[in-house]
Amino acid sequence: MTTFLIDIFTLIFLAFVHNLRMKYINSKKLSETQFKRYTGISWSTFYLMVEQLQKHVPAKGRQPKLSLEDQVLLCLSYWREYRTLFHVATSYGVSEPTASRIVRHVEDCLIRSNLFN
């Protein structure tokens, strides 16, 4: 009985955390205007950022927890909303150091592309 309740609470908590983050899948439902209000950039700029990030994906190693699109969204939410890395990390279900590494990696890739200021 006790393990059954723990399992139910665990599932409820995981569903809650999963729904906290605005994933790329959910953001695709937004219109151009809504997406620009949410991120500060247009869809075309977002796809250009993802394209530049794809050029820097390592061939070996473990798969990242977040897709490239979600990594860009994490970075954009950090820049746009002036939230702490702790809050951004919690929203995306990663640790604070991981969120910091993602932001730094996305920034470095976009700077190296010379397409963004």
Taking only the tens place, the pLDDT of each residue in 19-76 is 545 577 677 788 899 989 888 999 999 999 999 999 988 888 888 889 999 999 999 9
At 14, which amino acid appears?
A: L
Q: Which residue has the higher pLDDT, 16 or 66?
A: 66
pLDDT above 90 covers a percentage of the chain that reads 51
Give the structural domain span for 94: 2-113
Residue with tokens 């950039």: 41
Token readout for 8 is: 């139910």
The amino acid that residue 115 corresponds to is L
How far apart CA 11 and CA 14 sit, in angstroms, is 5
Q: What is the DSSP letter of 41?
A: S
Domain count, the chain: 1
